Amino acid sequence: MSAPLIRATDVRDHAHAAPSGRVALDYEGRFLRRKVLTLADGGSILVDLAKTTSLGHGSVLVLEDGREIAVEAAPESLLEITADDLTRIAWHVGNRHTPCQIEAGRLLIQPDHVIAEMLALLGAVTREVVEPFTPEGGAYGHGRTHSHAH
């Protein structure tokens, strides 16, 4: 019989000490309440939070014994968007309630062929990339924006 998994029962925005482990999760994987996660070193923990929580890159899961596990945004397939009028393009992406990472000179979204076609009609250039995805939070700097696929 295997030993019971140690539980992570809390989340912090940042580490208070050197993390004792790391876990890389994609955007969807960083939205959880109860799940077994495999750490970078091959160990496992049980995340058992009181409510469904959106974890950010740099957040930490707090284990029952006080140790912290660093959460990292894992690389995933994304669509990079560039345009001469990126502000206008960002408005159209936001109007579709699509999670979006905003950077100087480009936007990143999850792949969506319908939005890609719309963006092309608006003069934007898109290309597929594989990178960590850390989109903007909700209207007041927290929470999640969900695409119509949810």
Domain ranges (residues) in the chain: 7-73, 76-132
* Higher-confidence position of 144 and 2: 2
Q: How far apart are CA 11 and CA 68, in angstroms?
A: 9
Stretch 110-133: mean pLDDT, rounded?
Answer: 97
Domains 7-73 and 76-132 share a fold: no
* Confidence (pLDDT) at 147: 44
Cβ 19 vs Cβ 68: under 8 Å: yes
Instruction: Enter the pTM of the model.
Output: 0.84
Inform me whether the pLDDT recorded for 142 exceeds 60: no
Q: In what side-by-side order are the strands of the sheet with 125-132? A: 100-103, 106-109, 75-82, 125-132
Q: Is the pLDDT of residue 107 over 80?
A: yes
Identify the band that residue 105 occupies on the pLDDT scale cut at 50, 70 and 90: very high
pLDDT of 3 over the 90 cut: no
**CATH number of this structure's domain 76-132, picked from the four choices 1.20.1250.20, 3.30.360.10, 3.30.1330.20, 3.30.70.790:** 3.30.70.790
Query: Would you call 145 exposed, middle or buried from its count of C-beta atoms within 10 A (0-12, 13-18, 19+)?
Result: middle
7-73 CATH choice from 3.30.70.380, 2.130.10.10, 2.60.260.20, 3.40.440.10: 2.60.260.20
Average pLDDT over residues 110-137: 96
Give the pLDDT confidence score for residue 138 in this predicted structure.
63
